[in-house]
Amino acid sequence: MKKIFTTIILALTITISCKAQLNNLNETELMYGIKFNNITLKNITVSNGNLYQIKSFFGNDIQQEINNTSPSLSKDFYNNNISLGFEDQSDTGNNYNLSSIYVLNSNITINVQSLSIKLGDHKSKFSGLIFNPNSSSYVFTNENKGTIALSFKIDNQTDKVSEIKLIVY
């Protein structure tokens, strides 16, 4: 009985600890507050991987790669600045949902809460926010769901942002 109680307490502690290492955003902060070069996450999401909309957001130099092979239909868009992934879980080719965004250089500014962050920025810009030492990142996620994570990885040697990615689970 003591082992079961100890296991339950340990599991609760780990769960609380993991949640405590995230910066939670409500739905409005998530969809309208997160911006990539002033394009809201909401606009990117509702584009459903439409090439013309993605080009209007990030430039005519955006390239597209399509995977039409089941079971994972996908579209990837990229240029020298940004890479976006969309997947169609229905395998119909008509229902593409955002799956990832990777920032490739400092030409893309990300806004979240009151921050404006680029690759290479010093971690001091995150003053007062929760740092996740397990991933060496500042992670922003949708509260109570954890289905979207915007991560700013900090290089341990330089204390600068070395990677920016948004993953949809």
Mean pLDDT within 121-150:
96
Percentage of the chain exceeding pLDDT 90:
79
Long-range contacts of 148-153 (CB under 8 A, 24+ apart): 148/30, 148/41, 149/22, 150/34, 150/110, 150/112, 152/110, 152/117, 152/126
User: How many other CB atoms are there within 10 angstroms of residue 150's CB atom?
Assistant: 24
In Å, how far are 3, 21, 55, 90, 132 from 10, measured between CA atoms?
A: 10, 17, 48, 38, 19
pLDDT given for residue 130 in this prediction: 96
**Can you give the residue ranges of every domain in the chain?**
2-168
* pTM summary value: 0.88
pLDDT, average across residues 36-52: 98
And the tokens for 84? 């976006």
Summarised one tens digit per residue, pLDDT across range 98-115 is 999 999 999 999 999 999
> Per the structure block, which two tokens stand in for 102?
């990777």
